[in-house]
Amino acid sequence: MATVDASAPQAGGKVRLSASRREALWCYTFLSPWLLGFLVFTAGPIVAVFYLGFTRYNVFKAPQWVGLENYVGIFTDDRLFTITLLNTIYFVVISVPGQLLIAFTLAMFLNTRIHGRGAYRTLFYLPMIVPHAAASVIFLWLLHAELGVVKHLLDVFGIPSPLWFQDENWSKPGIILLSFWYVGQTMVIMLAGLQNIPTHLYEAASIDGANVLRRMWHVTIPMLSPTTFFLLVIGLVTHFQVFTFAYIMTRGGPLNSTLFYVLYLYRYAFKNFEMGYASAMATVLFVLVLAVTGITFGTSRHWVHYET
């Protein structure tokens, strides 16, 4: 640690700070806008949510302490809680690994020396700049049961088209397809990860007689595992919060098949004006995501390989 001499006024009344103190001060000065924003707009609301979960609060009037009433209601008297949770888990379990797989495949493809590689990279990343609301409307029409392009394409091959967002069995797969469209960012990070794998490892494997598949299994996948782990954690956290697609396209239907947890929470908060209950739901989701992330971290030591 640096010596502290700030408390001792020097001749002339000036306070002298050690170099490391000065550096720290500047560091916090430059960080302060973000820290302030984080405290006011993120940390503050998070603390408020924990508190409001124990209250009856409709925004118009002051919160009223009700203890565990909201939590008891969620776990014992909410007919849709389990349904929304299962819908969300279904989405997470298919969409997150699906995205990772697609991103990995695309990244492998784009990591080769193919002609027009830059154009492909741009093309696959392009959907990332389309807002979720706009993409939702596009997919609503692409997958329209009667007028959609996908239906007409399937008709050409004589394949019966599902009703997609009007059929409770196909609505979630439809939304998952849309989520795959947003694979661009994951792909770019995967690509960066692939490019960081030292080539001498591949050379060594080749010399040892490893074919392409073996090189992928024994070099690429292990070496990419820290990236995959990072993407998995981020994917889990964001996918548990799926909202916009269902909000725009299906409003939770048909038959509540796309009523995801956060959409349901939103209904409580902004349609029913029950912020206390919605806050309790948010806390439950927070704990759930924390647990899932914790488990993921716990398993990581078995499959994530850091280059030492």
Partner 1 sequence: MNSRNQILRRRFLAGSAGGLGLATAAIAGCGEVQTVTERVVEVVTKEVPVERVVTREVVKEVPVEVEKEVEKVVEVERVVEVEKETVVEKVVTKVVREAAPMVKAQAVTYWHVWGGPRLPLIEDQVAGFEELNPQIKVRHTLISQTGMDEKYLTAIAGGDPPDVIMLHGQRHLVAFSDNGVLTPLDELLRIDNISKDTWFDYEVDVYTWDGKMFAAPFSTSTNVNLFFWNKAQAQEVGLDPDMQPQTWSELEEAAEKLTVLDGDKVERVGVDPLLGGVRSNYWFRAWTFMNNGRISSPDRKQVLYNSDEGKGALRWLVDFYDTTYGGFENVRPIVSGGSAFRNSFLEGKVSSLFDGIWMFLIMGAQAPDVDWGVAHVPYNDRNPAAKTQYMIEGGWGYAMPTGVKNPDGAWEFLKWTTTDEGNREFFIAQVRPSPVKEFNKDPRFGENFPDEWKLALEVMDLSVHSPASPVQEKLNDITIQMQEEALLHKRTPEDAVEWGATESQKEVDKWWEQRG
Asked if 242 and 229 touch (Cβ cutoff 8 Å), the reply is no
- Candidates 21, 56, 121, 218; binder of partner 1 (CB under 8 A) is 56
- HEC sequence for 120-173: HHHHHHHHHHCCHHHHHHHHHHHCCCCCCHHHHHHHHCCCCCCCHHHCCCCHHH
Torsion angle, alpha carbons of 193, 199, 200, 202, to 10: 90
Q: Which residue has the tokens 């700049």?
A: 129
Q: Of 72-111, which residues contact partner 1 (CB under 8 A)?
A: 79
- Stretches 21-29, 96-104, 213-221, 264-272: which one binds partner 1 (CB under 8 A)? 264-272
- Stretches 26-34, 40-48, 57-65, 91-99: which one binds partner 1 (CB under 8 A)? 57-65
User: What is the x/- site pattern for partner 1, positions 58-77, by CB under 8 A?
Assistant: xxxx----------------
Q: Which of 94, 264, 265 is nearest to 176 (CA)?
A: 94
3-state DSSP assignment of residue 193: helix
Q: Of 148-187, which residues contact partner 1 (CB under 8 A)?
A: 163, 166-167
Tokens standing for 269? 């908060």
Of the pair 122, 272, the CB lying nearest partner 1 is at: 272
Q: Of 190-209, which residues contact partner 1 (CB under 8 A)?
A: none
244 binds partner 1 (CB under 8 A): no
CA distance between the termini of the chain: 28
Smallest distance, partner 1 to C-beta of residue 92, A: 24
- Candidates 145, 233, 234, 292; binder of partner 1 (CB under 8 A) is 145
Asked if 175 and 249 touch (Cβ cutoff 8 Å), the reply is yes
Asked if 215 and 206 touch (Cβ cutoff 8 Å), the reply is yes
Of the pair 123, 149, the CB lying nearest partner 1 is at: 149
- Candidates 139, 267, 284, 304; binder of partner 1 (CB under 8 A) is 267
144 binds partner 1 (CB under 8 A): yes
- Stretches 143-151, 179-187, 209-217, 220-228: which one binds partner 1 (CB under 8 A)? 143-151
Asked if 190 and 199 touch (Cβ cutoff 8 Å), the reply is no
Asked if 16 and 5 touch (Cβ cutoff 8 Å), the reply is yes
253 binds partner 1 (CB under 8 A): yes
Q: Which of 11, 25, 186 is nearest to 98 (CA)?
A: 186
Smallest distance, partner 1 to C-beta of residue 82, A: 15
Size of the site for partner 1 (CB under 8 A): 25
- Candidates 270, 297, 303, 306; binder of partner 1 (CB under 8 A) is 270
Of the pair 104, 277, the CB lying nearest partner 1 is at: 277
CA distances from 202 to 11, 205, 207, 209, 280 (A): 65, 5, 9, 10, 51
Asked if 165 and 83 touch (Cβ cutoff 8 Å), the reply is no
Smallest distance, partner 1 to C-beta of residue 164, A: 9
User: What is the x/- site pattern for partner 1, positions 6-25, by CB under 8 A?
Assistant: --------------------
Which positions lie near partner 1, rule CB under 8 A? 56, 58-61, 79, 144-147, 163, 166-167, 247, 251-256, 267, 270-273
